[in-house]
Structure 1
Amino acid sequence: MTVKKLIDFLGWPVVVGLLLGVSVALWLQLEQKRELNAHSDGMHYASLSPSNGNWSGPVSYSEAVNIAAPAVVNIYTRKRSQQRRHPLLDDPLFRHFFNNSDLPQQERMQSALGTGVILSRDGYIVTNNHVIEGAEEILALTYDGREARATKIGSDSESDLAVLKIELDNITPIKVGNPDSARVGDVVLAIGNPFGVGQTVTQGIVSATGRYGLGINTYENFIQTDAAINPGNSGGALIDAHGNLLGINTAILDKTGFSVGIGFAIPADIAVSAMQDLIKYGKVVRGWLGVEAQQITPELAQSFRLDSTDGVIITAIYNNGPAHQAGIRPGDIIIKLNDLMVKNGLLSMNKIARGRPGDKVDVIFLRKGEQHNTTATLGIKPDLQDTAR
């Protein structure tokens, strides 16, 4: 049907109405576009493209891995264990018929695996104490495939750190970073030997810093991360995006033994300090105040007529220890150490332990409601504890 016939059929009024409708629709679309443009004036839209200059993170962490990986070694240990006797061996009837009462308890060798980090060109390696505890043989496998028997230099169960030494040429120590500068959200990489599959790198972020009170070690100050840490990763390196060591991977928060995104690493500065002490003294040297203390509970605060639960109450003093010589007595309530309020007993103990023997500590304490000041000189915790008063 031609246009002329359509017009003749519908009539001019209908055709004109259709044209007007189309014109109005086009006009409304143009007005909406002008309104959107007017509202968008002065607004800035971010782009996800790394080419616009707003991208601060690397696309790949391979360079960081290349820097740190040669300093991470796989550790294999063998320890002798007693094989359990079958219960029937202790049954009188079984012993009577089979005459097996004098069978010796059998021994067998168990193998375990973990990871370590080379911290010096002399071949000193830091790992976890639980990785090598009780081991009769320790073998280190380097990044380039060389094997070496490792000698145990020393260990510290209270921090779960141990130091080994290997005799190899051309080894590369890791670069140590500054854990105090680590911030929540920083990208980190965990390097280790999970399940014995070989060196593996996992990536995550720093989830928290200064974690303590978890009951993992006596002295705790962990870096928390969601980078996957699995069996075999213990003693491995937690590094930053530039390949610097931030911590020694130590534990995960899970009863099954597999990573659920909450792992813990001992800060690198603590590990380095422990290594130096174990090499020089054969043990980790910590500051020691010579007290036993209890956190102030709401009930104790009410009993002592205190306004808050800040502080710790001294329950015992070691004879001739630093606190005893400074005039502190059982029943005193320590409220400040070096002008820092004592709000948590565990945290205060960790701060004292990070001091060195000979350091001076200003102590403010309450005795029978009166405030007193004194200065204590930190000592060395004795191997055999003296009788407390």
Structure 2
Amino acid sequence: MLTRLALPALAAALVAAPAAAQMARTEAPPAKDGTAKAVPLSKTDVQLSFAPVVKRAAPSVVNVYASHVEKRSNARASAMDEFMRRFFGEPEGGRGPRGDRAQRSLGSGVLVDGSGLVITNAHVIDNMNEVRIALSDRREFEAAILLRDPRTDLAVVKIKTPPAGLTPMPFGDADALEVGDFVMAIGNPFGVGQTVTQGIVSALARTQVGSADYQYFIQTDAAINPGNSGGALVDLRGQLVGINTAIYSQSGGSHGIGFAIPVSMVKAVVDAARDGLTVVRRPWLGARIQSVSPDIADSMGLDHPTGVLVASLQAKSPAEEAGLKRGDLILTVDGQTVDDPEAFGYRFALKGIQGQTRFGILRGTGRQTVTVKLGPAPETRPRDVLKVRTRSPFLGATVVNTSPAVAEDLQVDFPVEGVAVQAVDDNSFAARAGLQKGDVVVSVNGMPVATTKDLDRITRSSFNAWEIAINRGGEVLTSYFSG
């Protein structure tokens, strides 16, 4: 079960080993940056301390306290209870005498700018409207939410009145990490206060983890527990290499399998916030891709599955204009190997929306390079956002007209007929009806839904029964409701 969780070089800073012992070390293969990494052979070699690194990094890690209280009148609460009972058999009673709802969340964050910018997990502040930041010296400050990016599970908040002398953590290089490198996780597990755990990089480029759309994680055995969400994964130079986001656990505690979002993605989200954006804009390819199975790899003459296969192209998209064709196998993005759709999505998303990037592809038996122009997905028609407020199974859902931009945001195929569900309020009628973000409403009671105005008109009608057809992941599902 995957659970989301609401260090100069060390040798120079630590106890130096005797010269004889240093000479006796066995040299390991050179690292990616060309430096040699030595295996400790003597007792002196392993009598090291991470304290100098912690002293450097710990002041940059903060606690994040978030809350949300929604006040609702008795009349509104009673009306909701009545409709819940009518359509879904919701028992009477409630959520307090006034129907108020309160939510609170505790997590961690990292100072990345002297002006008070803090990076944390999006799920730490999900649905929250009040945030407080507690520094490592226990001073607390109110903060404003600048940007939430659920697709990466990252968010940026800013201390409203930042004090002088804040210590931002420098960014490291996640691409330089190797399996076996020492790392440390710093955060506030279980709310007990700032805690440091140490481990190694267990794996790189982990996908299929399921805690964000862009799945490309650093795996570590450094103990990560609830409350570490948004905390720092730090290398031995005291630099940020990842943001801790999830653990694999069946009990909620650490079992030595933790995941962190690489700092490359963190940089992209922080840069968007610095530019004044409230959403992260990503490049649009206009092609549907799929993973490569062993059978496909064998048919293409590959010795193992790698790359992503172009399954279809949208007309006038960057993919089509670059000359990509159905059946092409994309092997690299600007020289970086991609082994599956998640790795491709991560590498491509980091390229931004300006300039161009190069794909290394296999077409038939020949390898070649294509240049893809970078730019955002177009808004081919207005979204016409509709928050359904009429009594119907859609009450509490927000829907929009479809376009390449909407399809990119919600990760749905395009072109597609219907209107897309952009959001569903918790505990709403729409949520009880089973509607999910990314669903595309095709028809209601046999009437096609081409625009949000169509759905608005239909839901204003009085029906005793509802037949709803939605497209979910390419499959059309039909549901029936009566009241």
If the length of structure 1 is used for normalisation, what is the TM-score? 0.73
Alpha-carbon distance in 2 for matches of 1:258, 1:355: 36
Does 1:206 pair with 2:195?
no
Alpha-carbon distance in 2 for matches of 1:339, 1:113: 40
Alpha-carbon distance in 2 for matches of 1:63, 1:259: 25
Shift of 1:194: 0.8
Alpha-carbon distance in 2 for matches of 1:205, 1:278: 31
Does 1:385 pair with 2:407?
yes
Does 1:63 pair with 2:52?
yes
Given candidates 237, 246, 255, the residue that maps to 2:241 is 246
Write the deviation string for residues 4-29 of structure 1: whole angstroms up to 9, x where unpaired.
xxxxxxxxxxxxxxxxxxxxxxxxxx
Shift of 1:252: 0.4
If the length of structure 2 is used for normalisation, what is the TM-score? 0.60
Alpha-carbon distance in 2 for matches of 1:311, 1:180: 19
More helix by share: 1
Shift of 1:135: 0.4
Shift of 1:120: 0.5
Write the deviation string for residues 14-55 of structure 1: whole angstroms up to 9, x where unpaired.
xxxxxxxxxxxxxxxxxxxxxxxxxxxxx99x97442xxxx1
AA of the residue aligned to 1:319: A
Aligned length: 329
Larger radius of gyration: 1
Shift of 1:343: 4.3
Residues 266-281 of structure 1: pairs in structure 2 closer than 5 A: 266-280=261-275, 281=277
1:118 — aligned with what? 111
Given candidates 333, 348, 359, the residue that maps to 1:352 is 348
AA of the residue aligned to 1:353: A
Q: Could you say what secondary structure the match of 1:323 adopts?
A: helix
Structure 1 residues 336 and 141: alpha-carbon distance in aligned structure 2, compared to 1, 3 A threshold = closer
Write the deviation string for residues 261-292 of structure 1: whole angstroms up to 9, x where unpaired.
01011122321221111331332233332211
Are the aligned partners of 1:113 and 1:131 in contact in 2 as well (CA < 8 Å)? yes
Q: Tell me whether 147-156 or 379-388 shows the greater mean CA deviation.
A: 379-388
Are the aligned partners of 1:288 and 1:352 in contact in 2 as well (CA < 8 Å)? no
AA of the residue aligned to 1:388: P
AA of the residue aligned to 2:192: V
- State, as a whole percentage, how many aligned pairs show the same letter: 37
Q: Could you say what secondary structure the match of 2:406 adopts?
A: coil
Q: Could you say what secondary structure the match of 2:273 adopts?
A: helix
Does 1:289 pair with 2:285?
yes
Are the aligned partners of 1:124 and 1:163 in contact in 2 as well (CA < 8 Å)? yes
Q: Tell me whether 185-194 or 280-289 shows the greater mean CA deviation.
A: 280-289
Structure 1 residues 373 and 184: alpha-carbon distance in aligned structure 2, compared to 1, 3 A threshold = closer
Write the deviation string for residues 117-150 of structure 1: whole angstroms up to 9, x where unpaired.
0001010000000111100211111111211111
Structure 1 residues 105 and 213: alpha-carbon distance in aligned structure 2, compared to 1, 3 A threshold = same
Alpha-carbon distance in 2 for matches of 1:249, 1:236: 5
Extract unaligned runs of 5+ from structure 1. Answer: 1-42, 92-98
Shift of 1:365: 5.1
AA of the residue aligned to 1:112: S
Shift of 1:58: 5.8
Alpha-carbon distance in 2 for matches of 1:277, 1:239: 23
Q: Could you say what secondary structure the match of 2:407 adopts?
A: coil
Write the deviation string for residues 226-247 of structure 1: whole angstroms up to 9, x where unpaired.
1111110000011123322221
Alpha-carbon distance in 1 for matches of 2:321, 2:284: 13
Root-mean-square deviation over aligned CA pairs: 3.5
Are the aligned partners of 2:229 and 2:245 in contact in 1 as well (CA < 8 Å)? yes
1:263 — aligned with what? 258
Does 1:135 pair with 2:132?
no
2:459 — aligned with what? none
Write the deviation string for residues 312-366 of structure 1: whole angstroms up to 9, x where unpaired.
443332332201222334x332344456776433322322222233223245453
Write the deviation string for residues 152-176 of structure 1: whole angstroms up to 9, x where unpaired.
1101111111000002212111132
Alpha-carbon distance in 1 for matches of 2:173, 2:342: 23
Shift of 1:374: 4.1
